[in-house]
Amino acid sequence: MILHAGREPVALTGQGFADAMSISGGDTDGHSGAPPGPTEPMTAGHLFFLLHHLVRQRETALGRELAEAGLTLGQWQVLATLRRLDRATMGEVAAFCATDRTTLTRTVDRLARDGLIRRERALQDRRQVHLSLTPEGCAVFQIALVEVNRFNERVTGALDVGDVERMQPMIRRILVHVLDDPDWVEDLMAFRRLKDPRPRA
């Protein structure tokens, strides 16, 4: 599970996830693990528990589909981000993929070795690296996109357009409270370049 402190993603697993569940909402008697009954309202803790599993199970299943195109989920996320932004810094890609720099660096290294992305140092600041897709990367992205679209359409087949439209404002309201940064929330909702991709202290 990924939580954010400012713009620095924090991965929660094991006990960390259990701790997050216990403080994010629960019954007044301290028991947050029991599922809600037919008439019992869902707690915030149970909601995020379900969202966590939804995302993780979706990532696992999609990862199997992407393997057919020779990609991992992390590699696909980087390619998709660069396709959307055209050219981006490591900080921007890390923010959109909600991943840490160490993991991103390994993923980028592999994609660069495979000739799918190029790395260029900024002329004004040689410490800053810009990433972009190569023609080969664009071609691999398009092949994988077919599989991703097919997968997404299959798993969301039970939803109609109205369901999706109703979800968007709810997701936005929760993100605003989690991230405490309305501008970044709007960038994420629109999947556009961040106004300030640097993690805040």
Query: Is 128 part of a structural domain of the chain?
Result: yes
Handedness of CA 15, 16, 21, 23 (dihedral sign): positive
Is the separation of the CB atoms in 115 and 134 below 8 Å? yes
Q: How many CB atoms lie within 10 A of CB 168?
A: 10
DSSP string, 139-150: HHHHHHHHHHHH
Which CATH number fits the domain that encloses residue 112? 1.10.10.10
> pLDDT (tens digit, 9 = 90+) per residue, 54-113?
999 999 999 999 998 899 999 999 999 999 998 899 989 999 999 999 999 999 999 999
pLDDT for residue 170: 92
For the chain, what is the total number of helices (H) and then of strands (E)?
A: 8, 5
Query: Is 53 part of a structural domain of the chain?
Result: yes
Counting the structural domains of the chain, the total is 1
Q: Give the closest residue to 98 by CA, choosing from 119, 66, 73, 118.
A: 73
pLDDT for residue 5: 37
pLDDT for residue 155: 87
Low-confidence winner among 10-14, 30-34, 73-77, 145-149 (lowest mean pLDDT): 10-14
Query: Is 197 part of a structural domain of the chain?
Result: no
Residue 26 has pLDDT above 70, yes or no: no
pLDDT for residue 7: 45
Query: What's the average model confidence in pLDDT over 171-182?
Result: 89
> pLDDT (tens digit, 9 = 90+) per residue, 127-148?
788 999 999 999 999 999 999 9
Query: Is 179 part of a structural domain of the chain?
Result: yes
Query: Is 195 part of a structural domain of the chain?
Result: no
pLDDT for residue 33: 54
Residue 199 has pLDDT above 90, yes or no: no
Q: Tokens for 128?
A: 């800053």
Per the structure, the complete domain to which residue 58 belongs is given by 2-28+42-190
Query: Is 36 part of a structural domain of the chain?
Result: no
Residue 15 has pLDDT above 50, yes or no: no
Q: Hey, is 26 helix, strand or coil?
A: coil
Query: Is 34 part of a structural domain of the chain?
Result: no
Is the separation of the CB atoms in 75 and 113 below 8 Å? no
> pLDDT (tens digit, 9 = 90+) per residue, 47-62?
999 999 999 999 999 9
Query: What's the average model confidence in pLDDT over 161-187?
Result: 89
Query: Is 196 part of a structural domain of the chain?
Result: no
